[in-house]
Structure 1
């Protein structure tokens, strides 16, 4: 029996290899081989967590200046909901690029060990459109080396906070009014979305929440409760207090936290 199993594995390996290198193998065999490859690839991708509808939640927020604002927004919401607890670990002037300023990989591990919140929110990228330095070498934004190291840092911080019974959410960057930032932020969001899927956590797309009907940046807009407000700060990246409050409401809704 063991020999039969080994032979079958070898046969599948031969079929797949033959298809890849162009050896003359029947089309049906290649299709079967492709199915095996597909199954193997699917096994490597973790199942995305199920978002639970909840009446109570303890939330830990890690990230940069935008995450500091999100904390303010969720705290505003928590004042109306005693069952929502929010803890801030986010810091201004930090990110996943400049670990010489603040090492988020190390910090996330320590935070995860001491804070048993059942929800962790990660929001990074506002300061990350710059080079990464590793071992005295600079990797410029979007270069092959930069992408490799940045993906590794996304994975490190994600895996540092993942625990059984805990839900992890990665909040993407919002639309911004600075043209030299917009393309870079969308590039980062694509990376965040892809790594969230691979790491089995939930990605929350915030880009269109603060866009107008044409998908363009706007300073003022309609909040989640239907009111017209000034939402964005003068730098066209950050938010006004009303904007952060609205961001908090929208993120809470995505996490199915009751208002």
Structure 2
């Protein structure tokens, strides 16, 4: 989304590595404290997806690549900060790009560019967020597919599925983040509509569908500004009704990292390493 460029410039002025979350216990991760919303779908759980046999260490860390739109960019910035704060054996590369999506391949070709990124970065894991800029006809070198048609649904799912399949073939465990609601009624309906398409695209191609609705939605996929974290009510959505606050981006980053370390325990330093880090 275009308006996020201003927020990103603001975030860039901050030292994210030292970012505190006011009112939260620093030793606890937001993701682990979060309570899913009543009436929402079940929280994302570990699903049977092929896992890497490689063991990671400080000398040989994993690589996580973040792709997608401006929300992906926000999640990526906080994934970098949170992976460092948690001392994980994980290097995060943020390639989120403002104003992009899967619909306008003539503006930015995510499938093509992602293939190049896979070769250049060789990520062990990929995290993606799409949808907020895709409420329009699909345009590419192959032609135009009209919005709000069955053909659009099929083409959109295929484009998303192709990206997941490319990651899976390259050995990268793929997280497809399911978009949270938007305050704009039309965009919200669109995001609600594409969530099942993104879920199918991920699950049918060896990826993980990671919906945000259980944590950032009211009844019936409605927009809400806050989320309950432990005994605190935190403002997680920004004033524009589309993006997240820094607390919100951190919350999502911690949720993803929580799920990732459950799957790949070697991302977490050994107890002796953690004790040493806490003394520094």
User: Given the superposition, is the C-alpha separation of residues 226 and 141 from structure 1 closer, same or farther in structure 2, using an over 3 Å criterion?
Assistant: farther
Unaligned runs of 5+ in 1: 1-46
**Structure 1 vs Structure 2 CA RMSD:** 2.7
- Structure 1 match to 2:275: none
Residues 205-247 of structure 1: per-residue CA shift (max 9 Å, x gap): 1112112478642212223x65322211112110111111111
Does the 8 Å CA contact 1:208/1:215 hold for their aligned counterparts?
no
User: Given the superposition, is the C-alpha separation of residues 171 and 136 from structure 1 closer, same or farther in structure 2, using an over 3 Å criterion?
Assistant: closer
User: Given the superposition, is the C-alpha separation of residues 61 and 146 from structure 1 closer, same or farther in structure 2, using an over 3 Å criterion?
Assistant: same
- Structure 2 match to 1:49: 49
Does the 8 Å CA contact 2:158/2:201 hold for their aligned counterparts?
no
What SS does the aligned partner of 1:59 have? strand
2:245 counterpart of 1:240: yes
User: Given the superposition, is the C-alpha separation of residues 222 and 214 from structure 1 closer, same or farther in structure 2, using an over 3 Å criterion?
Assistant: farther
Tell me the distance in 2 between the aligned counterparts of 1:215 and 1:126.
15
Normalising by structure 2, what TM-score? 0.68
- Structure 2 match to 1:254: 259
Larger RCO of the pair (alpha carbons < 8 Å, separation 6+): 2
Within the candidate set 229, 233, 240, 1:228 is matched to: 233
Matches within 5 A, 1:1-259: 49-50=49-50, 57-82=62-87, 83-134=89-140, 138-163=144-169, 165-212=171-218, 216-223=222-229, 226-256=231-261
Alpha-carbon distance, 1:203 to partner: 0.7
Higher mean Cα deviation, 90-99 or 162-171? 162-171
What SS does the aligned partner of 1:255 have? helix
- Structure 2 match to 1:24: none
User: Given the superposition, is the C-alpha separation of residues 222 and 73 from structure 1 closer, same or farther in structure 2, using an over 3 Å criterion?
Assistant: farther
Q: Larger C-alpha radius of gyration, 1 or 2?
A: 1
What SS does the aligned partner of 1:239 have? coil
Q: Normalized per residue, which structure has more helix?
A: 1
User: Given the superposition, is the C-alpha separation of residues 215 and 188 from structure 1 closer, same or farther in structure 2, using an over 3 Å criterion?
Assistant: closer
Does the 8 Å CA contact 1:51/1:255 hold for their aligned counterparts?
no
Does the 8 Å CA contact 1:175/1:208 hold for their aligned counterparts?
no
Unaligned runs of 5+ in 2: 1-46, 269-280
What SS does the aligned partner of 2:169 have? coil
Tell me the distance in 2 between the aligned counterparts of 1:226 and 1:70.
24
